Amino acid sequence: MLINQKQTARANLAAALTQEILSNPELGSFPIASEHQLCRRFKISRVTVRLALGDLENRGLIYRKHGKGTFAHGRSKRVHKAIGTLLKTPHMVEHRPIAEIMRGVQSVLSSQRLSAMMICMPPEEWTSEMASSLGGVIVFPQDVTSKDIDVLRNRKLPYLLVGKTDLPGPQIRFGQIDAARVMTEKLLQLGHQHIALLTGYDPLLDAQKRTGVHQALRAAGIDPASVPEISAQGEESDRLKAVSDLLKLEPRPTAVLAFDDSLGSLLSFYARRHENIRVPEDLSIVGFHDIPYLRYFEPMITTVRFEFFKAGQRAAETLNHAAITGEEAKNLVFEPVYCPGQTLIPNRSNPWSVEENLSEALATSL
């Protein structure tokens, strides 16, 4: 076992015992060395030993029996705690990405007879009992401050931030910036010079996709400010007005990046039904999030899937491990999955667009 010279004797002892306990094959409980034995083995004081054992007890790794000694929980008896999801804007739970993440978390916790706890209060308002009941926290960054993160750190609660954010700490990364950049590059390769953005699904997720789009535009020598962006945020009437306004742009876009499949499908329906615009012959559409039920509608949206459910599972497992070991959680990185559909073809009005070559390039990358 490697000793970290920068850590305290207490932390080093806790880390050493944690490693030994977790590597022990016993299913049931088993005794560990006495305080006196640990003092002699690690050449540290009894006070330090007791503090380290207290840390392990708080993590659910050990328990003490008066007059009998200290025992470690075996594999089948190991104690897990609930996972909290800090979501300061609770209405966002209706958005599929967030719902899928929470569903993934719950799929792991249910086997441990635990549940995910959605929390809307800032961490400084949590009671000590509530904080101690959590093994870790998944943080949705919208409206979360650095002060909130400091509170989690001071309470020694492992956490994971959802998506790319300026807040400090480990993140769950879905590749949304890369995916938006790749799909924008594909539109440009297919000869689409008049591109528009249909946004307004979710401010945090939109921001990441917008970054990727702008990266691709700048690389192609296009000023992002020249690409119109229409927000469909709001009620159904607001979304309908947004797609109507987009289709009235001059010049009319030949391709649209819709920041969610629901917006892309609405645009496709409205364009065909009310404006007599053919999709994809007159208008190519790229969506995001691969909403399953929309795959049954024609023309099927060309989209990108992000592993939200799998991320929730991995996040719960990672935080469980961090809670037991006392280690910090690490970044979780997922690759986007490109899903070909029926709404993306070369711009036929562009004379330099060579359909065969570009279609082949698109098929290769997707």
Domains and CATH numbers, the chain: 9-72 (1.10.10.10), 82-174+310-335 (3.40.50.2300), 176-305+338-365 (3.40.50.2300)
Using only C-alpha atoms, what is the Rg of the chain? 26
Confidence at residue 56, expressed as pLDDT on a 0 to 100 scale: 85
- The model's confidence at residue 54, banded by pLDDT at 50, 70 and 90, is confident
Q: What percent of the chain has pLDDT over 90?
A: 65
Q: How far apart are CA 147 and CA 124, in angstroms?
A: 9
- Sequence length of the chain is 366
Q: What percent of the chain has pLDDT over 70?
A: 92
Is the distance from CB of 198 to CB of 240 less than 8 angstroms?
no
pLDDT digits (tens, 9 = 90+) for 326-347: 888 999 999 999 999 999 999 9
Q: Is the pLDDT of residue 241 over 90?
A: yes
* Between residues 295 and 159, the one the model is more confident about: 159
Q: Is the pLDDT of residue 153 over 90?
A: yes
47-51, 93-97, 231-235, 288-292: the lowest-pLDDT one: 93-97
The angle subtended at Cα 22 by Cα 16 and Cα 26, nearest 5°, is 125
Q: How far apart are CA 264 and CA 270, in angstroms?
A: 10
Closest Cα partner for 342 from 249, 272, 240, 247? 272
Confidence at residue 121, expressed as pLDDT on a 0 to 100 scale: 95
pLDDT digits (tens, 9 = 90+) for 268-314: 999 999 999 999 999 999 999 999 999 899 999 999 999 999 999 99
Distances (CA, A) of 251 to 143, 182, 240, 242, 365: 37, 24, 20, 16, 29
Strands (E) located in the chain: 30-31, 62-65, 69-72, 82-86, 116-119, 134-139, 159-162, 171-173, 195-199, 229-231, 255-258, 284-286, 303-305, 332-333, 337-339
**How confident is the prediction for the chain on average, in pLDDT?**
89
The SS3 assignment for 125 reads: helix
pLDDT digits (tens, 9 = 90+) for 168-190: 999 999 999 999 999 999 999 99
Considering Cα of 180, then 184, then 187, then 189, what sign does the dihedral take? negative
Edge-first strand order for the sheet with 30-31 is: 30-31, 69-72, 62-65
49-58, 101-110, 257-266, 334-343: the lowest-pLDDT one: 49-58
pLDDT digits (tens, 9 = 90+) for 207-238: 999 999 999 999 999 999 999 999 999 899 99
Confidence at residue 14, expressed as pLDDT on a 0 to 100 scale: 84
Is the distance from CB of 82 to CB of 133 less than 8 angstroms?
yes
Q: Is the pLDDT of residue 152 over 90?
A: yes
Q: Is the pLDDT of residue 354 over 90?
A: no
Confidence at residue 168, expressed as pLDDT on a 0 to 100 scale: 96
My answer on whether omega of the bond before 299 falls inside 30° of 0, hence cis, is yes
Q: Is the pLDDT of residue 349 over 80?
A: no
Distances (CA, A) of 361 to 79, 86, 366: 52, 42, 9
Confidence at residue 81, expressed as pLDDT on a 0 to 100 scale: 83
Closest Cα partner for 56 from 26, 22, 86, 27? 22
Q: Is the pLDDT of residue 32 over 80?
A: yes
